[in-house]
């Protein structure tokens, strides 16, 4: 996380290359800061080269009149003047510190330094990196990557030599690709190569100040003379420039002022953002009438891995925070940013994927055209992904909701074409005499917020709008959960054939998902008979529209409340629908759909969010149409893909344009989204074989191998923890699969507008831990809060596909303590 303090300004210094004057210019900054009466902290996290020479340099660096204000420290020192990753290897058998250790050590240093900082005793920290931006640090990770979790404001030391324009700009772009704030570029003047002139204009266009200073005097053989010359050199560098700054030639003192201004501007901007947001932004799904105070707004300053770096204005009632407390703190993104995050935030691999597609194509027209990112993605999904074994075509749109609108258009057309033949359909459409078609689904379903997607869901009372016109019939499904330490299936009253819900205890959560084994069970007969009877009566009910598609969120109804549907019920529903006779139309052949086209909305559940690439293999049935989004693009940009079988595709084939699927968005198959999706699929393929996955699978008794056994469900959440939570006093039930943990709080039935879950878990938002120990699992080891979302009386928590085990254990611990503390009261 980014540590940010009011009275302590921190900058990290990167070089465009090695030997560009990084140490000299940093020393000048340190001296200038000290001369302005700041307490100055100079940190060299990793140093290579003999200690003697470093000592000698230290004297050079930090002499001067204000030397008493300067503190220096080096965290990891190696003798040999080579790249740190090699230096670390040479130092005997001790393994080099991990990136996390290095970053936490730096964060600890900053945090300690902040303690004494105040308006009266302001501090400046300069952290000097080693070599160039991409020089490897001790672990072998390149520095721009390794230091990214701290997200510190940056000074780039430019290269004044021949070729230095290139290394400076390339280094700038490497920093920019990681999102760093770059406050200044410093370099030496060189009147022959004049890089400074070029870079001054170049960065001015990009809003970055460039300052050039005279190069140091040549070294002489006489040590004393050298020291004297060095002191004189610094004395000329530091004062504010008297000349105009048009040529970029300024005093280092001016730069220190500029950095102070950047710091103050950043603090001011963070402070102003809540009010400005409340004044201008209209949030989705938020009752703005309740958003009154600055403290109602979470300012996300940056994000990394599973954590936001946030600023939240203190509530008016809060005590004034201590001096030395960071204004920014990490917050675990417990909703995976609305179920999108896949590898955590700001994944460099995805940034580079977006960049290379943008650089090669930008966005290009898709109809009747093709490009590699779209074609590769289509092939991957159809042949090797969720479409394997059934899908023939990929249709690309912008988000889950549009993907589902496409799916519904496909299904309805496939149904009507088979029933009436092309001629009749087109004639009827032209006459405007359309029959009303509906979908068959489950109560609590959610397919998106555009009207077509809404119309495929039951109207529930709250979640609706003036044009919502639900068309179809929705079954009340049986639900799987852990209650009081036991796995249960809650069968709705009507389905159970009794006046109240029937709760059936089952062997285990895992057992529930072995659908094949349960097909001959008593419950299966109950389901089958109920579904058959209901569909029979629907087919003669004039109030129900012609049912033309079966539309399901397999396994979990997400936005409807994280409802884990009994998979056996969904399987039997599909089987009954497909068996024909009761509803729908007979199949035209072995490769065609029968009964109704079956649509799987896997926008939320697909692509391993529940631990499975797609839900078909577990259910033992494959869809005719399916939709993927969210994880599809790794949590970076919107994109959706609707997959369809050849039989569905064929319903739109003809010779006239009117019969085509007339749905497209301007940015259909935008190259950036497709390339990011392709990269996501590649990374997921590697993750599947990772230790983290094998460990999680092992906890659940699923095979920790790359071979997927469709009947073995698993979760990143610890089964023991889940069971314990299910026994807590305030918890009605709990359930988990893959990344998802859903905790339902006992409640008097507030439904979607209930606040009970918010109340129970409200304390999770507080930062827990002390700045002193800095030993948390969050970036930099800082105390962290947990962001979570609720759906009425259900709180859910969601990991990425690569959230580390220790992070999940820590979040589990916090959830557990929160419940225990309430129980104890």
Site for its own copies in 305-334 (CB under 8 A): 308, 333
Q: Which stretch binds its own copies (CB under 8 A): 116-124, 191-199, 529-537, 615-623?
A: 191-199
- Closest CB 644 distance from its own copies, rounded Å: 7
| 265 near its own copies (CB under 8 A) | no
- Closest CB 336 distance from its own copies, rounded Å: 9
- Window 709 to 768, contacts with its own copies (CB under 8 A): 752-753
CB-wise, 48 or 253, nearer to its own copies? 48
Q: Which residue has the tokens 């359930």?
A: 735
- Window 441 to 500, contacts with its own copies (CB under 8 A): 448-453, 455, 459, 461-467, 469, 471
Q: Which among 240, 257, 258 is positioned nearest to 249, based on CA atoms?
A: 240
CB-wise, 324 or 472, nearer to its own copies? 472
C-beta atoms surrounding 285 within 10 Å: 9
- Window 73 to 102, contacts with its own copies (CB under 8 A): 81-83, 85-86
What does the block give as tokens for 499?
């006046």
Residue choice 214, 654, 701, 720 for contact with its own copies (CB under 8 A): 654
| 4 near its own copies (CB under 8 A) | no
Given a contact cutoff of 8 angstroms between Cβ atoms, the answer to whether 635 and 337 are in contact is yes
Q: Which among 561, 630, 572, 579 is positioned nearest to 601, based on CA atoms?
A: 630
First-to-last C-alpha distance (Å) of the chain: 34
C-beta atoms surrounding 533 within 10 Å: 11
**Strand partners for 303:** 308
CB-wise, 55 or 435, nearer to its own copies? 435
C-beta atoms surrounding 775 within 10 Å: 13
CB-wise, 67 or 661, nearer to its own copies? 661
**Angle between the N-to-C axes of helices 164-177 and 195-205, in degrees from 0 to 180, rounded to the nearest 10:** 30
| 347 near its own copies (CB under 8 A) | yes
| 340 near its own copies (CB under 8 A) | yes
CB-wise, 96 or 673, nearer to its own copies? 673
What does the block give as tokens for 224?
């004393």
Who's near 637: CB < 8 A, 6+ residues apart?
Answer: 354, 672, 673, 676
- Window 536 to 565, contacts with its own copies (CB under 8 A): 548
**What is the spatial distance between Cα 825 and Cα 823, in angstroms, rounded to a whole number?**
5
CB-wise, 326 or 337, nearer to its own copies? 337
Q: Which among 195, 200, 237 is positioned nearest to 217, based on CA atoms?
A: 237
Residue choice 63, 116, 179, 492 for contact with its own copies (CB under 8 A): 179
- Closest CB 309 distance from its own copies, rounded Å: 10
| 672 near its own copies (CB under 8 A) | yes
| 120 near its own copies (CB under 8 A) | no
Q: Which stretch binds its own copies (CB under 8 A): 112-120, 301-309, 777-785, 815-823?
A: 301-309
Angle at 612 between CA 607 and CA 613, to 5 degrees: 40
Given a contact cutoff of 8 angstroms between Cβ atoms, the answer to whether 509 and 480 are in contact is yes
- Closest CB 519 distance from its own copies, rounded Å: 34
Angle at 207 between CA 201 and CA 209, to 5 degrees: 65
Q: Which stretch binds its own copies (CB under 8 A): 292-300, 478-486, 516-524, 806-814?
A: 292-300
- Window 782 to 801, contacts with its own copies (CB under 8 A): 787
Residue choice 94, 119, 191, 192 for contact with its own copies (CB under 8 A): 192
**What is the spatial distance between Cα 513 and Cα 511, in angstroms, rounded to a whole number?**
5
3-class SS of residue 770: coil
Query: Residues binding its own copies: what is the number (CB under 8 A)?
Result: 174
CB-wise, 113 or 326, nearer to its own copies? 326
CB-wise, 677 or 774, nearer to its own copies? 677
CA dihedral 262, 264, 266, 270 (to 10 degrees): -170
**What is the spatial distance between Cα 380 and Cα 388, in angstroms, rounded to a whole number?**
9
- Closest CB 773 distance from its own copies, rounded Å: 28
**What is the spatial distance between Cα 621 and Cα 619, in angstroms, rounded to a whole number?**
5
- Closest CB 358 distance from its own copies, rounded Å: 4
Residue choice 12, 17, 680, 726 for contact with its own copies (CB under 8 A): 17
Residue choice 274, 324, 560, 567 for contact with its own copies (CB under 8 A): 274
| 673 near its own copies (CB under 8 A) | yes
| 352 near its own copies (CB under 8 A) | yes
CB-wise, 378 or 767, nearer to its own copies? 378
- Window 149 to 178, contacts with its own copies (CB under 8 A): 151, 162-163, 165-171, 173-174, 176-178
| 283 near its own copies (CB under 8 A) | yes
Q: Which among 78, 20, 28, 25 is positioned nearest to 54, based on CA atoms?
A: 78
**What is the spatial distance between Cα 764 and Cα 741, in angstroms, rounded to a whole number?**
15
String of contacts with its own copies for each residue 196-235, x by CB under 8 A: --x-------------------------------------
CB-wise, 90 or 770, nearer to its own copies? 90
- Closest CB 422 distance from its own copies, rounded Å: 11
**What is the spatial distance between Cα 624 and Cα 413, in angstroms, rounded to a whole number?**
13
- Closest CB 277 distance from its own copies, rounded Å: 4
Residue choice 374, 538, 572, 722 for contact with its own copies (CB under 8 A): 374
- Closest CB 438 distance from its own copies, rounded Å: 10
CB-wise, 124 or 409, nearer to its own copies? 409
CB-wise, 104 or 401, nearer to its own copies? 401
| 269 near its own copies (CB under 8 A) | yes
Residue choice 475, 569, 652, 693 for contact with its own copies (CB under 8 A): 652
Given a contact cutoff of 8 angstroms between Cβ atoms, the answer to whether 126 and 74 are in contact is no
Q: Which among 324, 370, 456 is positioned nearest to 5, based on CA atoms?
A: 324
Q: Which residue has the tokens 């005590």?
A: 319
- Window 382 to 421, contacts with its own copies (CB under 8 A): 382-383, 392-395, 397-402, 405, 408-409, 412-413, 416
What does the block give as tokens for 684?
């997921």
The residue length of the chain stands at 825
**What is the spatial distance between Cα 664 and Cα 675, in angstroms, rounded to a whole number?**
19
**What is the spatial distance between Cα 208 and Cα 188, in angstroms, rounded to a whole number?**
17
CB-wise, 374 or 562, nearer to its own copies? 374
Q: Which residue has the tokens 């900082």?
A: 117
| 285 near its own copies (CB under 8 A) | yes
Burial of 504 (0-12, 13-18, 19+ CB in 10 A): middle
- Window 579 to 638, contacts with its own copies (CB under 8 A): 629-630, 635-638
Strand order in the sheet with 789-791: 502-505, 486-491, 479-483, 731-737, 740-745, 794-798, 789-791
**What is the spatial distance between Cα 140 and Cα 128, in angstroms, rounded to a whole number?**
18
Task: Give the phi and the psi of residue 552 in degrees, each rounded to 5.
Answer: -130, 145
CB-wise, 397 or 626, nearer to its own copies? 397
- Closest CB 496 distance from its own copies, rounded Å: 26
Given a contact cutoff of 8 angstroms between Cβ atoms, the answer to whether 203 and 185 are in contact is yes
**What is the spatial distance between Cα 816 and Cα 599, in angstroms, rounded to a whole number?**
38
| 649 near its own copies (CB under 8 A) | yes
- Closest CB 168 distance from its own copies, rounded Å: 8
- Window 685 to 714, contacts with its own copies (CB under 8 A): none
């Amino acid at each position: 996380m980014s540590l940010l303090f009011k009275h302590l300004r921190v900058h990290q210094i990167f070089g465009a290359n090695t030997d560009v004057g990084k140490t000299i210019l940093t020393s000048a900054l340190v001296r200038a800061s000290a001369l302005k009466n700041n307490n100055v902290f100079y940190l060299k996290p990793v140093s290579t080269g003999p200690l003697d020479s470093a000592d000698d340099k230290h004297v050079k660096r930090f002499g001067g009149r204000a030397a008493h204000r300067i503190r220096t420290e080096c965290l990891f020192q190696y003798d040999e003047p080579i790249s740190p990753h090699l230096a670390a290897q040479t130092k005997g058998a001790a393994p080099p510190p991990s990136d996390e250790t290095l970053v936490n050590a730096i964060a600890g240093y900053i945090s300690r330094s902040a303690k004494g900082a105040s308006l009266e005793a302001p501090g400046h920290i300069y952290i000097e990196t080693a070599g160039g931006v991409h020089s490897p640090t001790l672990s072998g990770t390149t520095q721009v990557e390794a230091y990214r979790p701290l997200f510190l404001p940056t000074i780039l030391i430019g290269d004044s030599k021949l070729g230095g324009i290139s290394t400076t700009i390339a280094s700038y772009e490497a920093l920019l690709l990681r999102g760093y704030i770059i406050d200044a570029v410093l370099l030496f003047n060189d009147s022959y190569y004049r890089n400074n002139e070029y870079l001054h204009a170049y960065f001015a266009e990009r809003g970055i100040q460039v300052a050039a200073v005279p190069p140091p005097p040549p070294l002489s053989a006489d040590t004393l003379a050298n020291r004297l010359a060095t002191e004189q050199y610094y004395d000329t560098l530091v004062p504010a420039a008297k000349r105009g700054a048009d040529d970029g030639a300024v005093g280092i003192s001016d730069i220190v002022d500029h950095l102070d201004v950047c710091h103050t501007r950043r603090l001011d901007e963070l402070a102003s953002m809540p009010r400005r947001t409340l004044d201008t932004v209209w949030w989705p799904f938020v009752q703005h009438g309740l958003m009154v105070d600055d403290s109602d707004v979470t300012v996300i300053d940056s994000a990394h891995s599973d954590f936001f770096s946030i600023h939240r204005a203190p509530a008016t009632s809060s005590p004034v925070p201590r001096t030395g407390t960071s204004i920014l703190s990490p917050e675990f993104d417990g909703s995976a940013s609305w179920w999108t995050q896949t590898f955590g935030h700001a994944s460099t691999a995805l940034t580079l994927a977006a960049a290379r597609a943008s650089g090669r194509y930008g966005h290009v027209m898709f109809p009747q055209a093709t490009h590699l990112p779209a074609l590769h993605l289509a092939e991957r999904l159809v042949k090797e992904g969720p479409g394997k074994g059934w899908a023939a075509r990929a249709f690309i749109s912008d988000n889950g909701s549009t993907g589902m609108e496409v799916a519904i258009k496909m299904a309805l057309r496939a149904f009507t074409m088979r029933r009436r033949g092309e001629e009749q359909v087109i004639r009827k459409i032209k006459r405007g005499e359309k029959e009303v078609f509906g979908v068959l689904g489950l109560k609590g379903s959610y397919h998106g917020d555009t009207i077509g997607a809404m119309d495929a869901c039951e109207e529930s009372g709250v979640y609706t709008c003036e044009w919502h016109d639900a068309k179809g019939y929705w079954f009340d499904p049986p639900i799987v959960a852990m209650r009081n330490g036991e796995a249960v299936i809650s069968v709705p009253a009507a389905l159970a054939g009794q006046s109240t819900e029937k709760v059936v205890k089952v062997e285990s959560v895992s057992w529930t998902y072995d659908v094949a084994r349960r097909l001959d069970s008593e419950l299966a007969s109950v389901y089958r008979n109920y579904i058959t009877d209901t569909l029979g009566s629907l087919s003669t009910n004039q109030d129900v529209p012609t049912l033309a598609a079966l539309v399901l969120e397999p396994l979990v109804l997400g936005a409807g409340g994280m409802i884990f549907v009994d998979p056996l019920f969904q399987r039997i529903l599909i089987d009954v629908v497909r068996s024909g006779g009761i509803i729908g139309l007979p199949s035209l052949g072995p490769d065609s759909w029968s009964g109704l086209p079956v649509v799987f909305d896997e926008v939320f559940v697909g692509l391993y969010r529940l631990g499975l690439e797609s839900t078909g293999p577990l259910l033992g049935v494959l869809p005719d149409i399916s939709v993927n989004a969210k994880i599809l693009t790794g949590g970076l940009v919107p994109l959706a893909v609707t997959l369809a079988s050849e039989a569905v595709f064929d319903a739109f084939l003809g010779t006239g344009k009117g019969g085509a699927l007339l749905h497209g968005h301007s940015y259909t198959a935008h190259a950036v989204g497709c390339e990011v999706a392709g990269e996501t699929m590649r990374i997921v393929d590697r993750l599947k074989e990772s230790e983290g996955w094998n460990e999680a699978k092992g906890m659940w008794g699923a095979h920790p191998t790359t071979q997927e056994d469709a009947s073995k469900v698993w979760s990143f959440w610890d089964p023991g923890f889940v069971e314990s939570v299910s026994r807590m006093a305030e918890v009605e039930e709990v359930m988990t699969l893959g990344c998802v943990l859903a905790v339902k709080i006992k409640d008097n039935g507030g439904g979607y507008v209930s606040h009970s879950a918010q109340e129970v878990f409200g304390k999770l938002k507080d930062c827990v831990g002390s700045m002193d120990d800095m030993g948390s699992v969050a970036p930099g080891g800082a105390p962290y809060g947990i962001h979570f979302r609720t759906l009425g009386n259900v709180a859910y928590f969601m990991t990425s596909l690569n959230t580390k085990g220790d992070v999940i254990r820590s979040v589990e611990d916090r959830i557990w303590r929160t419940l225990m503390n309430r129980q104890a009261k």
